[in-house]
Structures are given as C-alpha cells and as structure tokens.
Amino acid sequence: MVSAPTASGKTLIAEILCINSIINKHKKAVYIAPMKALVMEKYNDFKANYPYFTSAVSIGDLDANDSWLSGFDMIFVSTEKFDSLIRHNADWIEKIGCIVFDEIHMIDDLSRGATLELLITKLKSNEIQIVGLSATIGNANDLGKWLNAEVIESDYRPTKLQKGALLDSKIYFSMDSEGKAIGTSHSNSVLDLIDDHMQGSQQVLIFYSTKKNTENEASKLANFVGPRLAQHEKAKLNEISEKVQKVLEIPTEQCLKLSRLVSNGVAFHHSGLLPHQRMLVENAFKENLIKVICSTTTLGMGVNLPAHTVLIKNIYRFNAYASEMLETNEVLQLLGRAGRPKYDTEGLGLIAINAKKDLKKVFEKYITASPSAIDSKLAIAPLLRAHILSFISQGYLNTQAEIEEFMSRTFYGFQYSDKDRIKQVISSIITELQEWGFIENEGSSINSRFIATKLGKRVSELYIDPLSAKWIIDAVKDIDTINASENSAEINYDLMLLYLLSNTQELRPYNKPIEESNFFFPMYMRIGSSFYENYRIGEMSSVNAFTTSMMLNDWIMEVKENEIIEKYSITPGFLYSKLSNADWIAYAITEIFKILRRPQNRLLELRIRLKYGIKQELLDLVRLQHIGRVRARMLYKNGIKTISDLKVAGQERIQSLLGKEIGTAVIKQIYNEND
C-alpha cells in the first residue's frame, strides 16, 4: 500500500512489482485504474518503456471474457472491465501474480467505490500480490491492515509544490501566529500569471465548477493568449484546430467554439467534449502548444499533464440542494496536478477566493490540511444488488451466511463493528432477487443455497443493474398489451422501445424534461405501469427518462446534432455518451429477449439506427464503410437508395456524389475488390 504525493514515483514501484511477477513468478500482471483515459495512458507508457514484455489493454465490451488476453504478460483494464471478466470466468485470471489498483482511494466514491472494494475483497484472499496506489488518503494504515499489506507512506515530492490563496491580485502562502494571512506584494492576477508562465514556457490549468464557466472563461483568455503565441506554435495549433472541428461530419457550435480557442492556444475540457477532442486537447497541452486549459474536475485525476500552475477558481459545488465546499481530498488531488517531474522543478497550486474572511477557512481545510480518511460506501442497496447476484451466479457465494461472512472481510467490515445494517441490506436484496426471478432457493433455512436462474445468470453477465432488467421484463409486457389495444396507432413503437432502454439505471443521468415531454409522457406512462405500481423504489425518474428517449428518437429520425443539442440543452459529449450506453442496453435487451423467447429483429434494427442516426430507409446504405447518416441521406436524395442502386449508378456518378477518394473506397466495397 503506497501513499505518496503525485509524481513521487508510485508507478515505478508498481512497475517493479509487476515485472517481478512476470520474470520471477512466471505469472501475469494486471494494472487496474478507474478511468479509461488513465488506463490508456499507463498502457502506452508501459509499452514504450518495456517493449520486451507483451502488453495489452482492454476497456470495452463488458459481455466478453477476452480469452485473447491469455497471450500477454501485462494487462491494463478498467475496474468495471476486470469485474466483468471475473463474471465471465476468464480462464487466464488464475495465471495472475500481481494486481495494481491505481487510485485506490476511489473506494470512497459513492458511485464506483463498491465495485472496487468488492473486487479487492475477492482477490486479496488469493495468492496474488496486491498493490494499492494513492496520492490522497488520510488512513493508509487502515487500508494497509485491511489488505494485510506493507504500508509505504511518504511526503517526498520531486517537484516542490507551493500552495496558496489568490485574493485581489495577491497570493497568500502562509498565516502568521495570529492567524493572519501573509501575502506577496506584487500583482498576481490570472492574466499576470498566464503572461509570466508563457514567458517561461510554462502552462496553467484552471479548474471551474461548471462546464459553462470553463467555456466562458476560456473564450476570454483566448484573446489574451493568442497574440502572445509564436508563429510556429500558431501553425501547429491551426492544424489541431482543424482536427477538433472535423471530429463530427457536421461540427456543432461547441466543436466550432473549441476549434477557435485551440487555434489561440487555449482550450476548455469537460465531460461534454467528444473523446477524440479530449485526446487532441490533452496531447496539444503535453506538447506545450496549448498554454491554458479551463477544466471541470475531469482533469483532476490520473492523467499526466504538464501544468506548472493549478488554479482552483471555485471551491463550492451545488449538490442539488445547496452549495457546499469541495471535500479536502478532492481539492488536494486538483492542486497535486501542479508541477510534473518531466517538465518542472517546482509547481504552484492556488485557490481563488472572493473575501478575506474566507482565508482562514481555506487554509485550514485545504492549504495546510492533511488528506482526509476514506470510508467504505458499501452498505448502499443499489450498489450491492448487482454484486450479490454476481456472487450467486458464479457459484462463488451461495448462502446468506456466506455472503455475510464475505462482507465481514470487506473494508466496510473492517471499519464497522456493527454488522446488523449490512445484514439487513443483504437480506432485502436476496428477497428482491428471488421475487424478480433471478435466483432460486434450494431450501428454507437461512443457510439454504441460492442458485441463479438462467435469466439471472445472463443479467449478471450483461453487467446491468438487476433493477434495470426487472423494469425491462415488466415494461415489455405492457408494450404487448398496448400493441394489442385498439388505440395502439397513437403510440410510436420505436419510441416505446427507446423508452424501454432509456428508463434504466445505465442511462442515468437522464435529460432534463422539456415542455414537449410533459405533453406526450402521459400517453407512454402505460408502459411499465405495473412496475411503478408494484416496485415504488424511487430510483427511476420516469419523465426525465422519457425525455432521453425523445432525444434518441430525434437522433434516429435524422434531426441534426446541433438541433438536438439546442433543443435538449445538452453537449455533444452527453449525446454521444447516451448513444453509446443506449447501444449497450439495446444489446442487453436483445439478450434478455432471447431468454424470454421474444423476437429481436426490431431491436437489432434499432441498434443500427442508433449507431448511425438514421431512418429505417437508410439501413442498407450504411452497411458500407465511409457511409454515415449525412452521405447516406445525400445518396438517397439522389435516387440511390440501396447498395444495388450504387452498383447500377457506376463509378463516375458515385465519385461525383461522394468525391474521388471516398467514392473509390465505396466502389471497391460494392464490387468486393481488394485495396
């Protein structure tokens, strides 16, 4: 268990232990991280530094055992991916000698901590060396005792980090014995900081509380940074700017805005960006072309960016009820992004405040504070539901007593002596899973064995929440009833299917309702009415979910991205994230339908339409590479409605419509020619 500041060499320790496993134990090593971007970064670094080992990365399909990974020494995966590999009984797992859990403090995370904690609990009793890495953890010894691990704690940081508060163009680095802050005498406004850094070939990373703030502030800073760029920098940035703009066939307003900013050496970074745009921005920052990034906390963890100075502009966040201060560990994590060994000899971490009365509070909570202790978030029913089904489905734990004993070995069991709460949660979940038909009881006593039904086992393998599966099964019965009714003509069947997949846990967060959804929703409320009547769990937000289904319906009806984004007040990243998750759930529904012996053709068709954003009439054309929603519609308008029509059209007409390069590639496909 290694707890040390950012950039102090934790990864090197992990690499040494992984290599020891490969060379001396003749076993595999696995590197697990919570973010896909971090997994990819570590994979690329390892592959470059140790080319004599075979290495692989897997962060995709959650319904596969990835048997191909058995041929590699070093494997890089996300937390959820490795958990799914265990559920699919990947045979190479028994050949692992060392597993590294990067950012192990994520056990404290409400949404993802349970998966990480249960995964570690499963593995720590095996003959596998576990390595935990964290930069911000106040109770490393507790975690070490739970893991039965040697604890290495260090405050060594190769690049000195100065932390301070920025107020009225003055930086305060310390407080005197009377509690008064001592500040510098020279001006240190944000623009002064940026100007100083650009003269020293250094960069600035600024954190904001909202996406809107990152975009607005980046736009303001671009006017200052752009004129100060060298000509060779502007030339390279213009090339990157063009790539940012062309990520989509038709750029959105956000794409155009980001493109303009990048050409001026500034960028914004948040979850609303498309993955390829995030990569372009991050790489340009690493190359010291982009001088300033305005970001939400998306850049607060893991990814190695060369920021000399980090400035946190807002230490408050709205939590749906009220504004509250950020947790100590989160702020320390953000400040820790400043000063990287490859680029700097020192780093500067600043917190912007608006009033002098806040100085003492900021110093005590963040600047002079040590990392806070982390706590297990395991005793939350929705998080445990899928995992308990997985235990039973795998035959890993089959009685309530076994599950309770396993839970006693978790970090939650280590931290809390009162086991009654977790027992109640387990008992409630087991009862639910039985009522839903996902597990069966082979006896009547508390120690009787539970086994997964065929349906329950498949739900577990599909890596979806059992509550989502229950919703799908109940709602589809109501869809049948509606289709059989006299008034079924007033219901859009595609929209019914989209609502079926949208009203799941996996599609959260849902869209905010719009006026149109409030008008149409009562008509569709009949779908799943028995579910809402019998399972008032309060975990689904039906109107919001219906709005998500309307957004997806607009997409498959070929409404332009810009129009969808404006109509639903969303970002391109949000839209494409929902499309990706919708594809996953649509696939899961087809698998559930197989067990229920229901036809899947309409769903399979819907998956293709969701992938390309097309009406049904374009399905044949998009089977060709390079033909997406825009080119397919253009061909259709010109009388070419099928692949057969393309063959009849001939080479000259195809190239006149698609251009020489794309036209030639399409011609080769339709005539099965080799490249």
Instruction: Please compute the mean of the pLDDT values over residues 158-164 and round it to a whole number.
Output: 88
pLDDT given for residue 537 in this prediction: 44
**CA separation for the pair 355, 436 (Å, rounded):** 55
Residue 256, CA distances (Å) to 277, 555, 604, 664 in order:
12, 21, 34, 30
What amino acid occupies position 292?
V
Q: Residue 207: in which H helix or E strand, if any?
A: strand 204-207
Under the banding of pLDDT at 50, 70 and 90, the label for residue 230 is: very high
pLDDT at 453 over 70: yes
Residue 390 has pLDDT above 90, yes or no: yes
d(CA 233, CA 264): 9
Is residue 620 left, alpha or beta, with left meaning phi > 0 and alpha meaning psi from -120 to 50?
alpha
pLDDT value at position 498? 94
**Which residue in 229, 243, 210 sits closest to 292, CA to CA?**
229
Identify the bridge partners of residue 352 per DSSP, sorted by sequence position. Answer: 166
pLDDT-derived band at 20, boundaries 50, 70, 90: very high
- Say what angle helices 420-435 and 400-408 make with each other, to 10 degrees: 140
Asked if the 381-461 domain carries CATH number 1.20.1090.10, the reply is no
**Is the pLDDT at 634 greater than 90, yes or no?**
yes
Distances in Å between the Cα of 309 and the Cα atoms of 126, 160, 174, 193, 353 are 43, 12, 18, 9, 16
More confident residue, 509 or 614: 614
pTM: 0.87
Residue 177 in this model has a pLDDT that exceeds 70? no
- Quick one: 2-153 is in which CATH superfamily? P-loop containing nucleotide triphosphate hydrolases (3.40.50.300)
More confident residue, 422 or 473: 473
What integer pLDDT is reported at residue 350 of this predicted model?
Answer: 93
Which pLDDT belongs to residue 202? Answer: 84
Burial of 357 (0-12, 13-18, 19+ CB in 10 A): exposed
- Average pLDDT on 441-450 reads 73
pLDDT at 66: 87
Give a three-class secondary structure readout of 433-454.
HHHCCCEEECCCCCCCCEEECH
CATH superfamily, domain 618-670, is 5' to 3' exonuclease, C-terminal subdomain (1.10.150.20)
pLDDT digits (tens, 9 = 90+) for 412-426: 999 987 778 888 889
Q: Which of 205, 230, 228, 200 is nearest to 217 (CA)?
A: 205
Q: Which two tokens stand for residue 567?
A: 């109509």
Q: CA–CA distance from 74 to each of 31, 140, 217, 560 (Å)?
A: 8, 27, 42, 43
Domain positions in the chain? 2-153, 160-367, 381-461, 466-613, 618-670
Higher per-residue confidence, 354 vs 187: 354
Residue 186 has what pLDDT?
A: 46
Provide the pLDDT for residue 487. 59
Distance set, CA 270 to CA 40, 51, 282, 285 (Å): 18, 33, 12, 15
CB atoms within 10 A of CB 159: 19
With a pLDDT cut of 70, the percent of the chain lying above it is 93
Contacts of 637 (CB under 8 A, 6+ apart): none
Q: Which stretch of 166-170, 231-235, 570-574 has the lowest confidence by average pLDDT?
A: 166-170
Closest C-alpha among 100, 123, 108, 118 to residue 2: 100
| Confidence at 220, pLDDT banded by 50, 70, 90 | very high
Please report the pLDDT score of residue 520 as a whole number: 82
Q: Kindly report each contact of residues 136-140 with a partner whose C-beta sits within 8 Å and lies 24 or more positions away, as own/partner.
A: 136/105, 136/329, 136/332, 136/333, 136/336, 136/371, 137/3, 137/104, 137/105, 137/329, 137/371, 137/373, 137/374, 138/329, 138/370, 138/371, 138/372, 138/373, 138/374, 139/373, 139/374, 140/1, 140/3
Is 426 exposed, middle or buried, given 0-12, 13-18 or 19+ CB atoms closer than 10 A?
buried
489 pLDDT more than 80: no
The secondary structure of residue 509, as a DSSP letter, is: S
443 has a pLDDT exceeding 70: no
- pLDDT confidence of residue 184: 53
Interval 24-83: pLDDT, tens? 999 999 999 988 888 998 999 999 999 999 999 998 777 888 889 999 999 999 999 999
> Is pLDDT at 300 greater than 80 in this prediction?
no
Question: What pLDDT score was predicted for residue 641?
Answer: 94
pLDDT at 455: 96
E strands, 462-551, are none
Strand order across the beta sheet in which 96-101 lies: 55-58, 74-78, 28-33, 96-101, 129-134, 2-3, 152-153
Map tokens 């971007």 to a residue: 37
pLDDT tens digits for range 533-568: 655 444 456 788 899 999 999 999 999 999 999 999
2-153 shares its CATH topology with 160-367: yes
What confidence score (pLDDT) does residue 490 get?
64
Mean pLDDT of the chain: 88
CATH number, domain 466-613: 1.10.3380.30
How many other CB atoms are found less than 10 A from the CB of residue 194?
Answer: 24
Residue 480: in which H helix or E strand, if any?
helix 466-484
Cβ atoms of 75 and 58 within 8 Å: the answer is yes
Per DSSP, 491 falls in state: S
What's the whole-number mean pLDDT along residues 269-286? 92
pLDDT band at 146, cuts 50/70/90?
very high
Would you give the distance in Å from CA 323 to the centre of its chain? 24
Average pLDDT over residues 571-577: 92
CA distance 645 to 647: 5
For the ranges 224-238, 275-289, 374-388, 554-568, the lowest mean pLDDT is seen at 374-388
pLDDT confidence of residue 674: 44
Query: Which secondary-structure segment (H or E) carries 268?
Result: strand 266-269
What single DSSP character describes residue 152? E
In the 3-class helix/strand/coil scheme, how is 276-302 assigned residue by residue? HHHHHHHHHHHCCCCCEEEECHHHCCC
* 29 close to 18: Cβ distance less than 8 angstroms: yes
Q: What does the pLDDT look like over 99-129, one tens digit per residue?
A: 999 999 999 988 889 999 999 999 987 789 9
Q: Is the dihedral of CA 372, 374, 379, 385 positive or negative?
A: positive
pLDDT at 538: 46
Check whether 512 has a pLDDT greater than 50.
yes
Residue 339 pLDDT > 80: yes
pLDDT class of 245 with cuts at 50, 70, 90: very high
Residue 477 predicted with pLDDT over 60: yes
* DSSP character string of 302-370: S----BSEEEE---EEE-SSSEEEPPHHHHHHHHTTB--TTT-SEEEEEEE-S-GGGHHHHIIIIISPP
Helical (H) or strand (E) element with 98: strand 96-101
The CATH number of 160-367, from 3.60.20.10, 3.40.50.300, 3.30.2080.10, 1.10.3720.10, is 3.40.50.300
> Is residue 509 reached through a cis peptide bond, with omega within 30 degrees of 0 on the bond before it?
yes
- Between residues 87 and 446, the one the model is more confident about: 87
